[in-house]
Amino acid sequence: MNLPPPVAKDAYNKNLIQIEKAAKVNAEDIMKDAAKRLRERLLVYQLLLTDSESKEYKDWKDAHELKCEINHKGSSEEMKAVAAVVIFSRSINTYTRQLKYSTFVGDGDSSSFGWVKEALER
Ligand SMILES: [Zn+2]
């Protein structure tokens, strides 16, 4: 067989060190971003608790509405069921994927299953 030689131990260790450095930088960036979002959220809760008619809250709300990523209005329980319907509906396309589900695994109650079953029977 015409295989290249295995990776030398020194080269392997250098790669590991580079991966570790990159992972640390990435983890720090993610944690800083999470802390920033948490501080913002705490500030909003504080503003809401004190005065939802305040200028500070309205300013935050106006700025937030421009970048808000909300994609569901309703209860969190319903959100799970709606997402399950979207996922199952996306996968079942008889012309291209020809998938047939035989098992539905979920947690909690069975409302998501009911939503999916009803949506796909239409
Ligand atoms: Zn939002």
Q: Where are the domains of the chain?
A: 9-66, 76-121
CA of 9 to the centre of ligand 1 (A): 49
Tens-place pLDDT, residues 52-96: 888 888 888 899 899 999 888 888 888 888 888 888 887 766 566
- Cα distances (angstroms) measured from residue 99 to each of 20, 87, 106: 41, 13, 19
- Cα distances (angstroms) measured from residue 8 to each of 1, 2, 19, 32, 83: 19, 18, 17, 36, 48
CA of 116 to the centre of ligand 1 (A): 27
Q: Are 51 and 57 in contact (CB under 8 A)?
A: yes
CA of 63 to the centre of ligand 1 (A): 10
Q: Are 81 and 115 in contact (CB under 8 A)?
A: yes
Q: How confident is the model at residue 2 (pLDDT cuts 50, 70, 90)?
A: confident
- pTM of the prediction? 0.45
CA of 119 to the centre of ligand 1 (A): 28
CA of 67 to the centre of ligand 1 (A): 7
